[in-house]
Chain A
């Protein structure tokens, strides 16, 4: 049986942000199990399958309930004299009689019984035996693992059916239990392997380390921490194996080597896959991001303009409004920093611009994205594709996962020239080497055929940058380009990016949560919260004098030297759940100065003026109390 375990097992329900933080509502506590149960009960396919399996179990326990006929008692005449009567439900002649005059219906019932008993006992046997050996091998490792692994290798060399035939031939009188014995003896190693792999993954989890740090003994760790978390894939494999063992039993019977009495025929078998089948639509419950009305940053001729963009995600729990009317623009040579926390909508906006948003579950409901005045959302796929990579390129946060692990970096760099410019293989490679030199990869010529995992984190990110810049695009979108890097390497990478940006006069959208990085490189800043832009300002103005309480709070919560020994200023509460964004200003539950107005009315992105009422260029704030925030 191959391992068809789906990645999404019950243990990996994606974390949901169900908390609103302030004012905890007393929800009825539901356990993980009952959550899953609740979800399953709503699926008709689950209910039907569960009932079928239940029926088979009842048949296995009490076949007498379904037929009073002895499946072995036959009267030869019956086969010729009686036709199947398909309206005689549950009666001896429902399916007719076989050549020996035995009731086919009764044989099906008793045959099903044998199948179910063999299937369940074998599955239980291999799960217990394999589970224990797998847990020992996976947890203890060392020589225990070596021995168990070698033994499983040996058993894996023996085909199941073949081995079962040989073993069963050794039994002079074959009963159901000899079949069970043969299948368990040959099948347990499959579970050992699954369990071993699962345990090895789980034992590295921090919560196991935490338990060890508390002084927990081996038994407790295995029983309380490892087993409950490692068992899920074993159960999935076991349910699939259950079907496999029933089929094997049927095949053995067919070969005349399985059970002799009441051989059953037909394909009545439980379908264990059904209840655990992959959900057809994957619930989108990862962190979802969310934006606001009417702000425009007007500097020079905009290269890219985002106008009133709205993006939603349709999830199992409702519609998450990730982006709610975002407006911004970037000019050539300009750096716009989009600042925000997880769930603010900063990345979703960027992905929408690039056209790499997963749709579904994502959906653009409103707005325009103008590249040099043309709305990209209205373009054909082919036209958009030609802009991607060539005119607008993107740098991702985690270069290790963003680069294809099985292709050399030279190939991945050269691909840009081959696809967009029709370069030959040799030309593409030469250009790749040139690019790698440009981003200061040492010994580029020798390393061009290396794979991403052979480079250090900093070099990988530089390769990412080289790839994005290869065709000298007009605009670069960098999504947290240095977050995954070490501080000293961050500086190298940001310097390189700034240098190349200046050289090619590119626009740059820098998406980040790091106020330090922003201060270093940005020309102007857009601060996002819950899918809206809450403040925009030229970089110096924003740091010197924020006009939104959220920005103010963020700046104040950074540790400062002059506050040492005191409490850090902390914004209270948690970032909002996008499924239920607070009414009015989304920030109001966490805001120190919120009024009733803030709780009811969504603030517009106001123009901001100085104390004398003179408009401040490029400054906007989506706060009812921007005046007080800015001047008071």
Chain B
């Protein structure tokens, strides 16, 4: 087990550097000069411009810039935004909101997704199964912005159950609607994955053995069927948690949640290279951590993969 974790951690190093390098390159290949943009509409003074560029390190080769950046990153310095605020401050400010929203959405997708998938899988071909199929298809088919607008209009503007946008990102009750929208797509996937997995495992020999042993149905399903069926679902849930932590750009935008996605979106639009790079480097770490957790969970769930 220890060796397995060590190997996975070592494998992550090139992935971390590769991903950050790729993003760094993409960010800095963006056209438009962020330094020049500081002058606004006025024409910048070439001497000042060059001095500032030099001060910010923009005149060095890109590889050198990346290495400098990574060097600072490893000491915990995520860089400074063009507005002068340290990127790490922006992250710590947005992160709690995003974590709250992500966990909320995550809980919804686990409870509902696994629940729907389990019952659909057990009642293959019955009405509930067909209903679940249509329901999940609907969720998968509707793009998140559309779903967000519909929910906002129906529950916020028409029914007035909740405020259409989030006024206070720290108020958990206001996060209900965004969390439902954010979790809905994954919920559909989780439900489908669970259903497929249950329907497949229910025919497995060991389930048949469990029945032949005279176990009550509740035990057959709970002990033997569900645990084995969760293995592929856990993979999805792990990567999805990583995605939820960083990618809620649309949902956060619609509901005005001041989270990571929102901050990142603004940074991209403002071409704030340092902020984007900092956020992305952080998100990559979250992704990799999620991946590691998935692998460990895998090993816990399935003794066959417990490495020496």
Contact = CB atoms under 8 A, between A and B. Distances in A.
A contacts B directly (C-beta below 8 A) = yes
Given A267-B142, A401-B206, A405-B304, A255 B249 contact: yes
- Interface size bucket, B side? 35 or more
Contacts, number: 186
A406 B223 CA distance: 10
Interface string B243-269: 100110110010000000000110011
A404 interface: yes
B14 interface: yes
Contact of A166 (B27, B137, B224): B27
Contacts of B144: 247, 251
Nearest to B227: A406
Contacts of A162: 246-247, 249, 264, 280, 283
A150 B213 CA distance: 46
Contact of A170 (B31, B280, B302): B31
Interface in A60-107: none
B228 A406 contact: yes
Q: Name the residue among B15, B209, B227 with the largest chain A CB count within 10 angstroms.
A: B209
Contacts of A250: 143, 145-146
B212 A273 contact: no
B200 A354 contact: no
Contacts of A281: 125
Nearest to A405: B304
Interface string A254-281: 1100000000011101010110011011
Contact of A398 (B205, B265, B301): B205
Contacts of B219: 415, 419
Contacts of B11: 153
Contacts of B31: 170, 172
A370 B189 CA distance: 47
A358 B204 CA distance: 11
B250 A2 contact: no
A436 interface: no
A406 B26 contact: no
B196 A278 contact: yes
A172 B30 CA distance: 9
Interface stretch (A123-131, A197-205, A383-391, A560-568): A383-391
B2 interface: no
Interface string A404-426: 11111000000110011000000
Interface in B128-142: 129-130, 133, 137, 140-142
Contacts of B130: 280
B133 A386 contact: no
B72 interface: no
Contact of B303 (A154, A269, A389, A405): A405
Contacts of B227: 406-407
A401 B302 contact: no
B200 A7 contact: yes
B215 interface: yes
Nearest to A384: B214
Contacts of A170: 26, 29-31
Interface stretch (B16-24, B90-98, B104-112, B163-171): B16-24
A388 B284 contact: no
Given A255-B250, A404-B228, A389 B30 contact: no
Contacts of A394: 209, 212
Given A407-B223, A453-B304, A161 B215 contact: no
A161 B247 contact: yes
Contacts of A153: 11, 15, 18
A605 to B, nearest CB: 29
B18 A385 contact: no
Contacts of B250: 161, 251, 254-255
A396 interface: yes
B218 to A, nearest CB: 11
A415 B18 CA distance: 49
B141 A154 contact: no
B236 interface: yes
Given A271-B137, A451-B303, A255 B15 contact: no
Given A153-B15, A166-B30, A243-B140, A419 B209 contact: no
B235 to A, nearest CB: 8
Q: Name the residue among A167, A271, A385, A467 with the largest chain B CB count within 10 angstroms.
A: A385
A355 to B, nearest CB: 7
A405 B287 CA distance: 29
Contact of A154 (B19, B246, B247): B19
Nearest to B253: A255
A451 B215 CA distance: 20
A421 to B, nearest CB: 11
Q: Name the residue among A161, A277, A388 with the largest chain B CB count within 10 angstroms.
A: A161
A402 interface: yes
Contacts of A158: 19, 22-23, 280, 284
A162 to B, nearest CB: 6
Given A157-B287, A355-B211, A255 B19 contact: no
Contacts of B253: 255
A2 B190 CA distance: 9
B26 A150 contact: no
A356 interface: yes
Given A2-B189, A402-B209, A406-B301, A269 B141 contact: yes
Contact of B15 (A150, A282, A390, A451): A150
A266 B212 CA distance: 53
A420 to B, nearest CB: 6
B254 to A, nearest CB: 9
A265 B149 CA distance: 12
Nearest to B126: A280
Nearest to B197: A7
A339 to B, nearest CB: 22
Interface in B260-290: 264-265, 268-269, 271, 276, 280, 283-284, 287-288
B213 A388 contact: yes
Contact of B141 (A155, A267, A416): A267
A6 B197 CA distance: 9
B276 A166 contact: yes
A393 interface: yes
Contacts of B143: 247, 250-251, 254, 267, 269
A88 B203 CA distance: 53
A405 B228 contact: yes
A2 B288 CA distance: 17
B179 to A, nearest CB: 18
A406 B303 contact: yes
Contacts of B26: 163, 166-167, 170
Nearest to B271: A169
A467 B212 CA distance: 11
Contacts of B141: 243, 267, 269, 271
Contact of A159 (B18, B30, B137, B283): B283
A403 B27 contact: no
B40 interface: no
A154 B42 CA distance: 40
Contacts of B145: 250-251, 254
Given A394-B212, A403-B206, A404-B209, 8 more contacts: A4-B193, A157-B18, A255-B265, A388-B214, A401-B206, A402-B205, A405-B304, A451-B303
The 3 lowest CB-CB distance pairs between A and B, nearest first, are A389-B214, A154-B18, A388-B214
11 contacts: A151-B18, A161-B249, A166-B26, A170-B31, A250-B145, A266-B146, A355-B211, A356-B212, A396-B209, A407-B227, A419-B219
